[in-house]
Structures are given as C-alpha cells and as structure tokens.
A and B are shown apart, each in its own frame.
Chain A
Amino acid sequence: MPQDYLHHLGTVMPALLKGAWIAVYVVVAAEAIGISFGLLIALARLSKSRWLTWPALAYVDLIRGTPMLVQILFLYFGVPSLVSTVTGNPWNISPILAGILALGFNSAAYVSEVFRTAIGSIDKGQYEASRALGLTRFQTFRYVVLPQAFRWAIPPLGNEFITLLKDTSLLSVIGVAEILKEGQLYAARTYAIFPTYVGIAIVYIILTLSIANVLRFVERKLKVPA
C-alpha cells in the first residue's frame, strides 16, 4: 500500500505542478489588479470628498461582506448572463480571466485597507516638510509618502498574497485547471484519493513557503538601516 501511495504521489506531481504554474500566473495577475486598484480605493477613502469616500467604502463593504466563491460565480456565470440578456447576443468570459478579475477585485478591497492604514501612519511632519521644500502634492505622495507606506505594507501585503494563492483553489469550481482541479481530475481517474490530496497539500506548502521567503528577502532589501 505505501508503495502505491508513493507511486501515485510521483505520477500526480507533473499535473499538480502544471496547476501550480496556472495558480501562480493567476495570483500574480490578480495581485497586480489588487495592488493598483487597492491603492486607488485607499486614496479615495482618504480623500476629503464624500463623492470618493462613500463609493470606496461601499465597495470595501460589499466585497468583505460576500463570500469569494459567490463573487467568482457571479463574475463567471452572473455577468455573462446579464450581458447576454441585455445585448441579446450570447457572451462568455474565459474561466482564467474571470478568476483573475474575481481574485483581483476581491484582493483590492483588503489591500486598500492595508494601504489606508499605511498611508495614515505617515507622520504629518513628512507632509509639512515636503510642502515647505516646494514639492507638489503628487511629488510628496510619490517620493515621500508612498515609499514609506509601501515598506510598512509589505508584511500585510505578503499575507494577502499567500491568502490569495490559497484562494485560487476556489477557481476549480469554474473549471480553471489549477492545483486542486488537476488533483481532482487525477483522483477521479485513478481513485488514488489520499496520495493525491497529500500531493496537493505539499504543492501548496512549497508555494506558500517560497513566497514567504521571497517576501522576507524583499523586506530585508528595502529595510532602512537602523
């Protein structure tokens, strides 16, 4: 029996690694959306205009208040169905694109909270010094506030990245051939259920540990000497 398990563990690995590649691709693309859109939401929430703060707050509440699985299904099934009804023409979205958008827009809500706290933690004196030196508001943000906020945000952003990587497993429900989906297909074909799920767990652990190490390296590199 153990030899069988080891054999299946070996045979399922190529499929799982292919799934890992898809998962990393999806999570990098999603996090790019998450960070850029999240930063915009954070700025909207910090703005003095209600026309910006309210929609941003509503967005964060909406995303945080609904399960990610529902958001994925909404984007993959709900939105195409609406578009098809409105336009009268059938319209579809690819599972990977739906997955990237769902994870990206979900992540943006959480990332915006990280940036909002990070930007809020920058001392008022930094803004005053920048202003007194003649820097514009944009220059102050770009060269003084953002680099400091970003350093502050790296650890929580790292956590968000790892969470998002694990959440890619939810994309198996819309048929994205990520790690879990590849594993499930193998298990259904071979009935080697236990070794397959062990293999899936191993791949996730290797990926999350690798990302954590890369993030630690980045954090060390950007650390201001004390």
Chain B
Amino acid sequence: MIEVTDLHKSFGQLEVLRGINLSVPANQTVCLLGSSGSGKSTLLRCLNLLEMPTSGRIIIAGRNITERAASMTDVCRNVGMVFQQFNLFPHLNVLRNITLAPLKTGLLQRPEANDRAMELLRTVGLQDKAQSYPSQLSGGQKQRVAIARALAMQPKVMLFDEPTSALDPEMVGEVLAVMRKLAHNMTIMAVTHEMGFARDVADRILFMDRGVIAEDAPPSEFFTNPKTDRARQFLTTIR
C-alpha cells in the first residue's frame, strides 16, 4: 500500500530525513516511535505531501505521489490525516466539518455525504453531536470528530500524528479505542507516545533515529529485545 524509496527531506541546511526506505502492506498498523526531532512527523507529513520531499519516491495505492502530475486532491483521496491539535473548522458544526471535503471535492452529493457522516459519527460514538460546534466538545470528542472527518474521504491509508498528545489523560482512552477499531481494517501509520497502544495494536514498530529508520520490528520483539542502543535508551526513558 505504501512504498517509500530513498526519501530525503531537508529544511535549509538541516537534513531531517536521510534516506527512508519503507514498504507497508495493506491493512497493516505501523507505529512510528522515536525521540523528538528524529523525523517521525516529517516522514508522516511527507506521505500526504504536507511536506514536499527533497528527493525520493513515494507510491501510495499504486500511485506515485511524488510525480509532478500528482494533484493534492488525488493524494488526499487515498490518505487521511489526524493532527495533534485536531484542526477542526471552528465555524462549522460537526456534521459540516465532516461533509465539507467530500462535498467540495465532488466525492459525494449532499444526501450521501450526510448519511456517511452520521454513520462515521456512530462509529466514533458521537452521533448525538452532529449539530454541535467544536468549541462545545471536549478534547477527546474533537479528536474523534477529526478521525471521522478524515475517514469521510474514504482513504485507504490513515496517518495519525500524535493524536493523543494534546489530550487530558482521561480522554486518551476514547481516542485510542476508535483507533483500535480501525486497526487491521485499513492501513495505519501512527506517530504516538502511547506505548501500550503500540505494543498491543501495532503490527510493526518503526523506530526512527536522526532521520533514518533505526529499527523495524514487530512490537513483541522491539519492546523485549531492541537491537540498537538508541532504542534501548529510548525505551528506558519512556518507561
């Protein structure tokens, strides 16, 4: 589903990604771990071109998105993203937050878009909040709406960029529960600091260090027997 070849990304003189090679099959759940500044978020943001790679190739669902001809709409048809800060549209109610993109990009007509939005709201347990505005929701509810909004574009891949980092501890569970529901039913790449989630739900851990993938292993192996010193150090600091 995702093929990344020799991906580099620099911000001025600073090279943040230094040759990423990666292949993720369909319906796999991958957690990206690593210390701050290791390039996890940048890698994720390259996968939907929020950051333009300096060089390298990214193929998602058979489409080379790094080609010049790739349009953002095409890219985003296949890739949904959930942000740390939710980024809901504050002037639109929950229903319109979810239906805006499918309607304006021509993916769905109004009745189907509304039906699909209500179905997604049921999936994330917020069907009674369709008419609420983001300012009337808790952090956890906002993030669940953000997940529903991304899913409304019917993506094949979902990217989660630290989806629980901005939440109060008691709200983390409800967001992780939704992510668990999605896991193994679609391709997921998640940058997270929730080690429990990574251990229990992920099929695969990518440990990033200074712009490269330092370890690529199943969670059972990564958490019990990390191969690199950096990973061992990382696991010690987060425990």
Q: Please report the C-alpha to C-alpha distance between residue A42 and residue B186 in the assembled complex, in whole angstroms.
A: 43
Q: How many A-B residue pairs have CB under 8 A?
A: 69
Number of interface residues of A (CB under 8 A): 21
Please state if B87 and A129 are interface contacts (CB–CB under 8 Å). Answer: yes
Q: Which residues of B contact A224 (CB under 8 A)?
A: 90-91, 133, 135
Q: Which residues of A contact B100 (CB under 8 A)?
A: 133, 135, 143-144
Q: Please report the C-alpha to C-alpha distance between residue A176 and residue B115 in the assembled complex, in whole angstroms.
A: 57
Please state if B133 and A133 are interface contacts (CB–CB under 8 Å). Answer: no
Q: Please report the C-alpha to C-alpha distance between residue A226 and residue B135 in the assembled complex, in whole angstroms.
A: 5
Q: Which residues of B contact A128 (CB under 8 A)?
A: 50, 83, 87
Please state if B89 and A129 are interface contacts (CB–CB under 8 Å). Answer: yes
Please state if A225 and B135 are interface contacts (CB–CB under 8 Å). Answer: yes
Shortest distance from the beta carbon of B44 to any chain A beta carbon, whole Å: 11
Please state if A134 and B87 are interface contacts (CB–CB under 8 Å). Answer: no
Q: Please report the C-alpha to C-alpha distance between residue A136 and residue B80 in the assembled complex, in whole angstroms.
A: 15
Please state if A136 and B73 are interface contacts (CB–CB under 8 Å). Answer: yes
Determine chain A's interface SS by DSSP, over half rule.
helix
Please state if B101 and A133 are interface contacts (CB–CB under 8 Å). Answer: yes
Please state if B135 and A132 are interface contacts (CB–CB under 8 Å). Answer: no
Given contacts A134-B101, A224-B135, A225-B135, contact A126 B77 (CB under 8 A): no
8 Å CB interface, A134-189 against B: 134-136, 139, 143-144, 147-148, 151
Asked if B104 is at the interface of the complex by the 8 Å CB criterion, the answer is: yes
Please state if B105 and A135 are interface contacts (CB–CB under 8 Å). Answer: yes
Please state if A131 and B91 are interface contacts (CB–CB under 8 Å). Answer: no
Q: Which residues of A contact B91 (CB under 8 A)?
A: 147-148, 151, 224
Q: Please report the C-alpha to C-alpha distance between residue A129 and residue B72 in the assembled complex, in whole angstroms.
A: 12
Asked if B156 is at the interface of the complex by the 8 Å CB criterion, the answer is: no
Please state if A134 and B105 are interface contacts (CB–CB under 8 Å). Answer: yes
Asked if A67 is at the interface of the complex by the 8 Å CB criterion, the answer is: no
Of the residues B83, B104, B135, contact of A129 by C-beta under 8 Å: B83
Q: Which residues of B contact A135 (CB under 8 A)?
A: 100-101, 104-105
Asked if A125 is at the interface of the complex by the 8 Å CB criterion, the answer is: yes
Kindly list 7 other residue pairs between chains A and B, CB separation below 8 angstroms, not including A123-B87, A125-B83, A132-B50.
A131-B76, A132-B48, A132-B80, A133-B101, A134-B72, A134-B73, A151-B91
Q: Which residues of B contact A (CB under 8 A)?
A: 48, 50, 72-73, 75-77, 79-81, 83, 85, 87-91, 100-101, 104-105, 133, 135-136, 146, 149-150, 153
Q: Which residues of A contact B (CB under 8 A)?
A: 123, 125-126, 128-136, 139, 143-144, 147-148, 151, 224-226
Sample (20) of A-B pairs whose CB atoms are under 8 Å apart: A123-B87, A125-B85, A125-B87, A128-B83, A129-B146, A132-B48, A132-B79, A132-B150, A133-B101, A133-B105, A133-B149, A134-B72, A134-B76, A134-B101, A135-B101, A135-B104, A135-B105, A136-B73, A139-B104, A226-B133
